[in-house]
Structure 1
Amino acid sequence: MQQKRKWHAMTWIDGFPAVLGGYDGEELLNVVEVYKNGNWERYPSLTSIKSSLSAISYYSKVYAIGGFFKKNLNSIEKYENGKWELLFVKISSNLTCTGLFASGIYIIIFGGLNENNKRVKDCDIFNDKLMKVWKADFELKEPFYFLSLNTLTSEGKAYCYGYDDNIYQLVNLQFNF
């Protein structure tokens, strides 16, 4: 990469692996880099600097959710048509290290660390067509935050395998829409 970093988010942009934001050891970043044709290319930067954010590729868009800059954030940024936009809609809490997965027309936002650096069990549902976020009527069985996360969805269930406090844990979630 052109910019060293940690506490960044990873996702896909334009079908290529991408890293967003993070911390370079001295300052927080808004830098976005995409790995294309054997090289890391700079892409348009996030609208604000942040670390410990979460990101998800959703159809032709990318969403960067939550993160940290002086405090935990409740913001959502969208990348579409070559630019980032800060959305007016917010998640229900200021969070870092949330889990994300897409299910149909929804993006499920779950777990994370709140302003007091405590793990949460809360879940939000984001509908990008309506530009609305609401608190889900379900939550995680245990409070978790995710420094890295892999999610597989199948038949109304989400299977999440993530890194939380130096151990890998399988978090089973079931959602009915």
Structure 2
Amino acid sequence: MKVKKLSVFIGLVIFIFAALTSSCILLSLSETGGFYDEDYENSVARKEISVITLNRWLKGYELRLNSPTSLSGKQLMEVTKLCIKSGDLNNLYIIDENSVLSFATMQVKFIMDGQPFYCQFEYSISNSGNFTFKPIKVMDAVTDNPYKKSIYASDEKNIKRYFIDLLEQTFKNIKKSVINRSKDFT
């Protein structure tokens, strides 16, 4: 008889413990909105990026670099062409040019994540030495292997910043080569 009462008592304690535990779980779920955790979902959600994504990131982007020099914009444009011809800027090509306005549409080749890309951009130089780089579009350099990368959605901002920084560095290197070569003419 004592064993039966003891087993009933233990069963009752277990039942009460289970009821309290489940009510605590339900209470915490109601406070957090259920099982769905948006931060967790964003950290594990995957997203595919491609050249289309890269071009979206460039929309409205422009880089202006000041580099006071005694040469005019037209002279600096000639120095740019000299740098291309001499091989100082071997990944840079002129697509279209207006030498009167010191303006050109150019294309530069760069590498990101081991894959080559082309970036077409507007390039202009003011008479005060201000260089302006305005990307038009990014394209795959290898058309039979288009760029596609699966990333975590939470990493998108960092990858975008990496991509923009890479292009900025490419543009800064162009300006640096032109300014270094222009010192031969001042």
Which one has a larger percent helix, Structure 1 or Structure 2?
2
Tell me which interval the TM-score lies in, with the shorter structure as reference length.
under 0.3
Task: Return the TM-score normalized by structure 1.
Answer: 0.24
Q: TM-score, normalised by structure 2?
A: 0.23
Q: Which has the higher contact order (CA 8 A, sep 6+)?
A: 2
Larger radius of gyration: 2
